[in-house]
Amino acid sequence: MFGWFGKVSFVPYTKVSDFAVHLKDGRLMGSVCADCGRFAFPPRADCPDCLSGSFEYREISGRGTVHTFSTIAAAPTGFEDMAPYTVVVVDLEEGGRLLAWAGETLDPADVKIGMPVQVVPRIFEETPEIRVYYSVEEPGATWGKAPVRGGEG
Ligand SMILES: [Zn+2]
């Protein structure tokens, strides 16, 4: 059923994307539709409900619970050196879902469906594209955030 787990990959974002800039700053951002208030993570420029094209970013906590998880023993090309590794699908507290890697503070053997976790954005590589992944840590885990940039809410 979760065949796409085998295709887990770093997600590239272009530097012009505000979403990527926020991730680089350590902030997880969802979008809120300016017209109907619909929340979405990852952010959506066009509202899936009312089709409005206006939205603003809203920072989310990264708190969530484990929806499901899988340990990859036979890694796809490019990830062989990392196997075995555990990937986790997290239901975010504010809504939305993401795929993350079990992080430093979490023993993959301890991961259970329904357990509370903290999602932390990580920069894998900064090239013309910022390559980002999420790690899943114990609740209460903290990470570095850049100061809020001027003029942004
Ligand atoms: Zn809307």
Q: Tens digit of pLDDT for each residue in 28-72?
A: 999 999 999 999 988 888 898 999 988 899 999 999 999 999 998
Q: Does 106 reside within a domain?
A: yes
Neighbours of 108 (CB within 10 A): 16
Mean pLDDT for 127-151 is: 82
Domain limits at 34? 2-137
Cα–ligand 1 centroid distance for 97 (angstroms): 19
Q: Does 78 reside within a domain?
A: yes
Question: What does the pLDDT read at residue 51?
Answer: 92
Amino acid (one-letter) located at 30 = G
pTM above 0.85, yes or no: no
In which element (H, E) is residue 20 found?
A: helix 18-24
Cα–ligand 1 centroid distance for 114 (angstroms): 30
Question: What does the pLDDT read at residue 43?
Answer: 86
Q: Does 65 reside within a domain?
A: yes
Q: Does 97 reside within a domain?
A: yes
Mean pLDDT for 23-29 is: 88
Q: Does 151 reside within a domain?
A: no
Cα–ligand 1 centroid distance for 31 (angstroms): 10
Provide the edge-to-edge strand list for the sheet that holds 39-40: 39-40, 29-33, 55-59
Cα–ligand 1 centroid distance for 96 (angstroms): 16
Q: Does 110 reside within a domain?
A: yes
Please choose, from the candidates 110, 20, 43, the residue with its C-alpha nearest in 3D space to the C-alpha of residue 137: 110
Question: What does the pLDDT read at residue 150?
Answer: 61
Q: How confident is the model at residue 10 (pLDDT cuts 50, 70, 90)?
A: low
Cα–ligand 1 centroid distance for 19 (angstroms): 19
Total number of domains in the chain = 1
Q: Does 126 reside within a domain?
A: yes
In total, the chain counts a number of residues equal to 153
User: Is the Cβ–Cβ distance between 40 and 31 less than 8 Å?
Assistant: yes
Q: Does 148 reside within a domain?
A: no
